[in-house]
Structures are given as structure tokens and as C-alpha cells.
Copies of this chain bind each other. A is one copy, B any other.
Amino acid sequence: MTFATSFVPDIRFGEGVHAGIAASASALETRSALVVIDGFLAASGLGEQLAAQFAAEGIAAEFFSGFAGEPKLAHVQAASVAARGKDLVVGIGGGSALDIAKIAACLAVADEGPMHYALAANPLPKRPLRKIMVPTTAGTGSETSATTIFAGPEGRKLWIWGPETKADLVLLDPALTVTLPADLTAWCGLDAFVHAFEAATNRNAHAGAALYAHSALSLLTVALETAVRSPMDIEARGKILLGSCYAGIAIDNCGTAIAHNISHALAGLTPVHHGLATALGFEATLEWLVEAGTADLAAAARACGLADAATLPAFVTGLMDRCGIVRALPKAFSAFSAGDLAREMRAPENQPMRRATIRDVTDADIDAIAARMMALPKTL
């Protein structure tokens, strides 16, 4: 066995650790910082708290909230310009805020714009700005991964990848996540669960990443339903936030598989929440996947507290039921056919996830999966 694991940043976990954001920036010798933060968070008490924190540390902090929904080219361009001349970038919010912050920290010191680096066309600058990541959803694991996603000029999902995008410090504060609504908690939590599951079981899986993936599966299994039903339960919120972070470490090393191929393909047609799309794609393919019968699948099942992999499909369906996940796509999907989805699933940028899947994904498999996905009600 041979494996490589990429560095894991400093992590601080616990209720209230976000009070140390500016002090942590100061310890990293920061005099000026760009704070990429979701607009509704900036407008909340948190925005004021942060401004006071940075002022107390004598750090000139500029807030950037010029984005909405999943990151677009214009958002990452604007954030990169705003980051120029700063010492550090803080990302606070969901995966979009973190991804924009990570890209801005790299491109602040670059001669070219985002499209120059998209899809690994060119290497990123070696010495990006320092980064502190503070996730307020438990889902993407962007705080510990080297991946960022944004929509290119034609709306296609692109990525900028590299260890240069990775955080120096991650602050995991469950108190920042208690206001996340039940449906988003469930969708993001399932996204994290699928990250951990795919990283633990795909063709790139290895023991080094399984350490994190199995811990994530265990944390999410025991706490996700509680976090959905009892949003103020700090212990459950903490467990899914830590699980999501560990799942991010797992995909940072081993990537994803078929559920993310489906999820990205769906988003290539028309907007859909990434976590929901991933959960639906996962449920639709899990029975087919576990037929592979690998030792990794059995180990992932055990991490979920199950006796064997054969019980995984029923377990996941039950978990999604208990978390109240409605199996439906947004209404806008009515304009598309199974053939449209199958075409997106075969698009070049989605092939790494197809190839990483532990079973061979034939063209016939893709057609069958696309048909099953597009047979879902389009009622959201």
C-alpha cells in the first residue's frame, strides 16, 4: 500500500471560537485583511462583531459580500481585485464564500484572472495570501480542501485546484450554524456524508484518507438527524460541522465519484442546490454501487454502525427520510430530458468522477441513471 495525504491546516473547534478570528489573523502578522462573508451574515450582528474584533487588533479589514448563490466568474474576479495588497483573506459563510475567499487569496498575487487558472490550465502563484476559513454550514468541507468551484462565462461549472488554495487556519464554531434551516442542514449534511462515503470507497481511496472519512461517516450518522430536528443542539451541530470538515479532508485526498458526477451534471442543466442534487444522485445509485462488494464498502458501512454494505441503501434512504429530504428536483428541470442529463454526465469535466467510481460506469449505466434521476418529480 502506498498513499499520500495533503497537509491538514490548524483547526480550532468549539462554541465561541469565532470570537478569535481577528486575534488569529493578528498572530499571522496581518495588518490588512479581506473578509469574504455572506451578505446576510455581514448584515447581522456578526458583521458588527467582526468589525469590532478587527479594529481592536489594529487590522484594516475590508468586507466583501458582492456575491449570491453559487460563485460566478464576476464574483471571483471582484474578490480577487479587492484582495490585492492585503495580507490575509478570511472566508466566512457557506461553500460559496469559502471558495471565493480561497480563489481571491491566490489571485491577489497573480498576473492573470480566474480563467487562466481554471481546470488547472496553469499553475497557481506559489505564495498566496494567508487564509482563515470559517464555515457556517456543515457541508462542502471547502475549509479543508484544495478545490474551489465557480461558474464560467457560459455558466458551466469550473474549478480552480491546488494546495495554494488551502487554508492556514480553520475555525469550526457550531454556534455559527444553528440558524441554518432544516432543509439546508439536511442537504448540506448529506453532501458531507457523500463526500466521506465516496472518498472512502472510490478507486482512489486509501488508508490515509479513510482515517478522516470513517470519522466523518460516524459523526454524521450519529448527529445529522438530531441537528435537523433540534437546530439549537450545539453538540449535534458540532458533530456534523466536524464531520463535514473531516469529509473535506477525505475528498481533498481521494476526490468523489458517481453521485458527484450526477450532481455536477444536474447543475450543468439548471440551478439546483448542490447538497440536494448530490443526495438524490447518491440514493439513486447506491444499490448499484454496493454490488461491487469491496472491502472499502464494508469498512464504510461499519463506520456508519452497520454490519455490512448490503444494508447501506436502506440505511441511507432511512436517514434521508428522517432528515425530511423531499425527493424532487426544481421545477426548471421540466425543460430537460434524460438525454440532456446523460450528455452532461458524459461531459469532459465530469469524467474524473465517473472514472473514480468503484464500478465501471458504462454508457448504458449513464442512460439508466439519467432516466431514473429525470423521473423524479419536478416540484421544488
Stoichiometry, copies per complex: 2
By the criterion CB–CB under 8 Å, are A13 and B208 in contact?
A: yes
Which B residue sits closest to A169, measured CB to CB? Answer: B7
By the criterion CB–CB under 8 Å, are A1 and B238 in contact?
A: yes
Cβ of A8 within 8 Å of any chain B Cβ, yes or no, is yes
Q: Helix, strand, loop or mixed for chain A's interface?
A: mixed
CB of A194, distance to nearest CB on chain B (Å) = 21
Cβ of A299 within 8 Å of any chain B Cβ, yes or no, is no
Q: Which of A1-48 contact B (CB under 8 A)?
A: 1-17, 29
Which B residue sits closest to A206, measured CB to CB? Answer: B13
Cβ of A215 within 8 Å of any chain B Cβ, yes or no, is yes
Give Cα A301 to B171, complex, Å: 30
Q: Which of A217-253 contact B (CB under 8 A)?
A: 235, 238, 242, 246
Which residues of chain B are near A372, meaning CB under 8 Å?
A: none
Known: A29-B126, A211-B215, A215-B211. A7 touches B9 (CB 8 A): yes
Known: A8-B7, A211-B211, A211-B215. A2 touches B29 (CB 8 A): no
- Interface residues of chain A, those whose CB is within 8 Å of chain B, are 1-17, 29, 126, 168, 207-208, 211-212, 215, 235, 238, 242, 246
By the criterion CB–CB under 8 Å, are A13 and B4 in contact?
A: yes
Instruction: Determine which of B4, B16, B238, B242 lies in contact with A12 in the assembled complex, contact meaning CB atoms within 8 Å.
Output: B4
CB of A235, distance to nearest CB on chain B (Å) = 8
Which residues of chain B are near A6, meaning CB under 8 Å?
A: 10
By the criterion CB–CB under 8 Å, are A16 and B2 in contact?
A: yes
By the criterion CB–CB under 8 Å, are B2 and A17 in contact?
A: yes
